[in-house]
Amino acid sequence: MSEPNAKHMNGLNRVVHEPARLAILKILSAAEEADFTFLLTVLGLTKGNLATHVNSLEAAGYIDISKEFVGKMPHTTYRITKLGRCEFEKHWKHLMRFAP
């Protein structure tokens, strides 16, 4: 018997299932690309919390992070990957059917 994937439990993707990460993926799937300031303002998370969640999503391969400097200011942009979009849509459909 194959070992169950740690990301999945009861058919749910645990990385995507967390509400903050679900909201981040929802925004990125609607806009394709957004920067840190936009996500922070739209979601209402703290900087630290947002950074932790986007790092988890990047580690799972669901988003790409690109960092650059605009003048002397660092500018971080997030883009949803194909895998991220696929996993998010699958999970979203599942939630819409079974959420309380």
Residue ranges that bind other proteins, judged by CB under 8 A: 17-20, 22-23, 26-27, 29-46, 49, 75, 77, 92, 95-96, 99-100
Return all residues near 19 (Cβ < 8 A) that are at least 6 apart.
none
Shortest distance (Å) from residue 6 CB to other proteins: 18
Closer residue to other proteins, CB minimum distance, 58 or 92: 92
Shortest distance (Å) from residue 43 CB to other proteins: 6
Closer residue to other proteins, CB minimum distance, 44 or 61: 44
Q: Are 50 and 56 in contact (CB under 8 A)?
A: no
- Give CA–CA dist 16/52, Å, rounded: 14
Q: Decide: residue 100, CB within 10 A, 0-12 exposed, 13-18 middle, 19+ buried.
A: exposed
Shortest distance (Å) from residue 51 CB to other proteins: 13
Are β-strands 8-9 and 33-35 bridged in parallel, bridged antiparallel, or unpaired? unpaired
Closer residue to other proteins, CB minimum distance, 1 or 48: 48
